[in-house]
């Protein structure tokens, strides 16, 4: 049974290439259909948090002024994640920050990223949209607290991952959904879900 590390960053902007840094990270471990452990911390990005992002996340410059350094928190987070596959909603975003901050402390990612946004587009194509908050509401996932805070969003993404796996098991009568199958679905285009699952089944026979 694969253990997944579901992560979520709050940051000062959209791209580390433009100087944005993380202000908060949460990691939620998911195993055997449930959340088994959690890690969360604010960190001092050492750059100004724009007012619109302070309003969005509720994380202010005052809150992070005396928070631990990004490097120290990233070391702890990387240790907590270990070699588990990482999952995030719109993983391209979190992957940029994860890789950029690990590089600053001379660490390198070992594992793949799985994207719950891409999986949701393939598995729930008729959802009103594929924002995390909309999917939580549409799929009636548990309320995890204030959205746009790292732990609440990481937990929501964890429940979404479990719901996506559950939907695949139900729709295709599978006894389990492997990480390998999730990666295969993620790598295919939107209209190839049935073909992808069918090919995976045939390969396993």
Q: Which residues bind DNA (CB under 7 A)?
A: 8-15, 17-20, 23, 47-48, 50-53, 56-57, 89-90, 92-93, 117-118, 121-122, 129-134, 148, 153, 189-191
CB nearer DNA, residue 11 or residue 44: 11
Tokens 């694969």, residue?
2
- Min. distance of Cβ 161 from DNA in angstroms? 14
- Min. distance of Cβ 6 from DNA in angstroms? 12
CB nearer DNA, residue 31 or residue 129: 129
CB nearer DNA, residue 29 or residue 49: 49
- Min. distance of Cβ 118 from DNA in angstroms? 5
CB nearer DNA, residue 178 or residue 192: 192
């Amino acid at each position: 049974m694969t253990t997944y590390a579901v992560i979520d960053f709050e940051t000062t902007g959209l791209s580390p290439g433009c100087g944005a840094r993380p202000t908060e990270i949460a990691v939620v471990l998911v195993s055997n259909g449930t959340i088994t452990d959690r890690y969360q911390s604010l960190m001092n990005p050492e750059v100004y948090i724009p007012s619109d992002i302070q309003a969005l996340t509720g994380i202010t410059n005052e809150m992070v002024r005396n928070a631990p350094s990004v490097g120290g928190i990233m070391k702890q987070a990387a240790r907590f994640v270990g070699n588990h596959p990482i999952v995030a909603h719109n993983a391209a975003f979190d992957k940029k920050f994860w890789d950029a901050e690990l590089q600053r402390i001379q660490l390198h990612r070992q594992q793949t990223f799985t994207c719950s946004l891409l999986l949701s587009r393939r598995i729930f194509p008729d959802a009103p949209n594929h924002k995390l908050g909309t999917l939580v509401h549409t799929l009636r996932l548990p309320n995890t607290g204030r959205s746009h805070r790292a732990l609440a969003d990481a937990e929501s993404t964890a429940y979404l991952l479990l719901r996506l796996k559950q939907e695949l098991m139900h729709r295709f009568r599978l006894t389990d959904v492997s990480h390998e199958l999730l990666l295969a679905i993620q790598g295919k285009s939107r209209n190839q879900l049935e073909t992808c699952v069918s090919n995976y089944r045939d390969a396993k026979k």
